[in-house]
Amino acid sequence: IDEDDISEEDFVNVFHEIMERAQNYMPDYHPTFFELLFFMAMKWFDKKKPDYIILETGLGGRLDTTNVVEHKTLCIITKIALDHMEYLGNDLGTIAAEKAGIISHKTPVVFYDYHRDVTAVLEERVRQESVEGISFSGNKIQKMKKHEKELAELTRLRESTEKYENI
């Protein structure tokens, strides 16, 4: 938070707190490594009260641990590729459907428009959830609903991060 990592002491304390709660409430369950780190992060963020939290899904979207977050400000889906195929599917459309699982009602979504199968799946999910969808490809931004305030903010964010393109 504010460019400071969690201290070792806070990390150990939050770890013990999460493990104790897991053992008390679900004695036969052990969280995965990602779940454990996610729960620890949520507990630490709850204590530190940051203005914003940027979360990355662990694997996919539909069944991802990050879906427990109820009050999202924005959902961003970057380029979808043929990865984790043993869990997500064998083609871009199927993988996109899994990743589209992070799209939820009332949360605007921004996604990378580069492949027609992926775009079709994401646009359909945007329609199903009745949320604003903004697709981008290169320097082109296309709105699926008209909300100028959000588009202006996205454009500002994109322009301010263009210097990091080659990282």
- What tens digit of pLDDT does each residue of 8-18 get? 999 999 999 99
Query: How far, in Å, CA of 85 to CA of 120, rounded?
Result: 20
Residue 19 has pLDDT above 50, yes or no: yes
Long-range contacts of 43-48 (CB under 8 A, 24+ apart): 43/14, 43/17, 43/18, 44/6, 44/10, 44/14, 45/1, 48/1
Q: Name the band, by pLDDT with cuts 50, 70 and 90, for residue 152.
A: low
**Percentage of the chain lying above the pLDDT 70 cut:** 83
- Decide which of 103 and 62 is more confident: 103
DSSP 19: H
Long-range contacts of 113-120 (CB under 8 A, 24+ apart): 113/137, 113/142, 114/79, 115/80, 117/91, 117/92, 117/93, 118/80, 118/92, 118/93, 120/93
Number of C-alpha atoms within 13 angstroms, CB side, residue 74?
A: 14
**Percentage of the chain lying above the pLDDT 90 cut:** 32
Please, are residues 141 and 134 in contact by the beta-carbon 8 Å criterion? yes
43-68 average pLDDT score:
86
Whether this model's pTM surpasses 0.85: no
Please, are residues 120 and 145 in contact by the beta-carbon 8 Å criterion? no
Least confident window among 39-43, 81-85, 97-101: 81-85
